[in-house]
Amino acid sequence: MARGDEPLVGYDGLPDGLLMADHTARVVVFNRAAARMTGVDAGSALGKTLEDALPLVGLDGRPWWGCALPYGGLRTTTGHPERNLVLPDGTELLVTSRYLRDEPGGPTSAVVVSLRDTRHRAREELSRAELVSTVAHELRSPLTSVKGFTATLLAKWDRFTDEQKRLMLQTVEADADRVTRLITELLDIARIDSGRLVVRRQVVDICAVVQRHVARHIASGADPARFQVDAATDLPEMWVDADKLDQILANLLENAVRHGDGRVWVSVASSGDGATVTVTDEGEGIPDELQRQVFTRFWRSGRRGGTGLGLYIVRGLVEAHGGQIEVGHAPSGGALFRFSLPAGTPDFLE
């Protein structure tokens, strides 16, 4: 909302509160989110001075604008980073300010203030705490096992038969692989969240990749009759990241085998200028009210353990390719996961 006959379109659609004051320190923008967060009517805020419209105080009780001096302070100041400030009624806000100048060292021509509810930070801190707790829990078990078996072997090597040594070393190797997988997940999350995930494209036969993953499950002891693969023969040439496609399929198939029951269907079909892969099972499925949570961090089915990070990473990997993924109900009543990837082009053509 803006003063005058030319409202600034689009500010009311922002999720964060936004205020803007002109060169006279009068508020000319006070969007809907700012009104909601502060409890101040936008119409009454417009035209007031910045200090009157938004009377913030620091956590030490001192008036904030008197300390910040956006119009009378040093002309090299460009603003202030996000910090906790308080309104007179005790409402805490996360406030970021930026001072605009028509020329370096010139007077302040406008002040832009962004407001966020402190609940955003609380959620972020809770998410970080949950991540640390999950990682600590998932690392403790395999590392305890590795430490125990290696200490036992070093102390009593001659007392064990070759078969016993082999069994213990196989357990150590499996636990080391588990730790490696967890570290890989954490690195993937960091790259996804920071936007630094790199997709290295090459021509990949998706149908062959699916067959390879199914064969791996069968080699690990799964019943061959449990799997059915329907692979199209008219797929376009697919330029995707082979390693990331492996991660996507490995996670979806692992979930279908572990959390589902009965048969597992995998279909690969041509879809416009790309390909669509669908994985379904005959398990209990995922209730409608939980489907929105499936691709969030730490979501678990409740039946078995795990970090709850796998599907969050899968979505990030699919979207990094410019694709989409969805969850639904299989015709058999189990879970259905379907992701689509564009055909893509070589990296040097992008």
Q: Among the three residues 117, 147, 162, which one is the final residue of a domain in this structure?
A: 117
Task: Mark whether 83 and 128 lie in a shared domain.
Answer: no
Q: Is residue 93 one of the residues assigned to a domain? A: yes
Q: What CA–CA distance (Å, rounded) separates 52 from 56?
A: 9
Token pair listed for 207: 């149908």
pLDDT tens digits for 56-79?
A: 998 777 898 988 999 988 888 888
Q: What is the model's pLDDT at position 117?
A: 82
Token pair listed for 151: 């200490």
Task: Mark whether 112 and 125 lie in a shared domain.
Answer: no
Judged against a pLDDT cut of 90, whether residue 55 lies above it is answered with yes
Q: What is the model's pLDDT at position 1?
A: 41
Token pair listed for 196: 């630094």
Q: Is residue 254 one of the residues assigned to a domain? A: yes
Q: How far is CA 346 from the centre of its chain?
A: 27
Judged against a pLDDT cut of 90, whether residue 228 lies above it is answered with yes
Judged against a pLDDT cut of 50, whether residue 7 lies above it is answered with no
Q: What is the mean pLDDT of the chain?
A: 86
Q: Is residue 95 one of the residues assigned to a domain? A: yes
Buried b (16+ CB within 10 A) or exposed e, 60-74: eeeebbeebebbeee
Q: Among the three residues 99, 117, 135, which one is the final residue of a domain in this structure?
A: 117
Q: What CA–CA distance (Å, rounded) separates 124 from 133?
A: 14
CATH of the domain at 88: 3.30.450.20
Task: Mark whether 138 and 171 lie in a shared domain.
Answer: yes
Task: Mark whether 64 and 133 lie in a shared domain.
Answer: no
Buried b (16+ CB within 10 A) or exposed e, 79-93: ebeeeebbbeeeeeb
Task: Mark whether 100 and 130 lie in a shared domain.
Answer: no
CATH of the domain at 155: 1.10.287.130
Q: Is residue 1 one of the residues assigned to a domain? A: no
Q: What is the model's pLDDT at position 60?
A: 76
Task: Mark whether 135 and 147 lie in a shared domain.
Answer: yes
Q: Is residue 4 one of the residues assigned to a domain? A: no
Q: Is residue 98 one of the residues assigned to a domain? A: yes
CATH of the domain at 239: 3.30.565.10
Pick from 216, 264, 263, 208: nearest CA to 233: 208
Task: Mark whether 220 and 311 lie in a shared domain.
Answer: yes
Give the other-Cβ count within 10 Å of 8's Cβ: 15
Classify the C-alpha dihedral 276-334-181-299 as positive or negative: positive
C-alpha dihedral, 102 to 112 to 62 to 59, nearest 10°: -140
Contacts (Cβ under 8 Å, ≥6 apart) of 171: 145, 149
Q: Is residue 3 one of the residues assigned to a domain? A: no
Judged against a pLDDT cut of 70, whether residue 28 lies above it is answered with yes
Task: Mark whether 138 and 238 lie in a shared domain.
Answer: no
pLDDT tens digits for 147-191?
A: 999 999 999 999 999 999 999 999 999 888 888 878 887 888 888
pLDDT tens digits for 248-298?
A: 999 999 989 887 778 999 999 998 889 999 999 988 888 887 888 888 776
Task: Mark whether 174 and 282 lie in a shared domain.
Answer: no
Pick from 345, 206, 199, 328: nearest CA to 270: 206
Q: Among the three residues 159, 194, 229, which one is the final residue of a domain in this structure?
A: 194
Q: Is residue 289 one of the residues assigned to a domain? A: yes
Token pair listed for 236: 């376009």
Look up the domain containing 169 and give its range: 121-194
pTM for this predicted structure: 0.59
Task: Mark whether 251 and 307 lie in a shared domain.
Answer: yes
Judged against a pLDDT cut of 80, whether residue 50 lies above it is answered with yes
Task: Mark whether 206 and 288 lie in a shared domain.
Answer: yes
What's the structural domain count of the chain? Answer: 3
Task: Mark whether 17 and 144 lie in a shared domain.
Answer: no
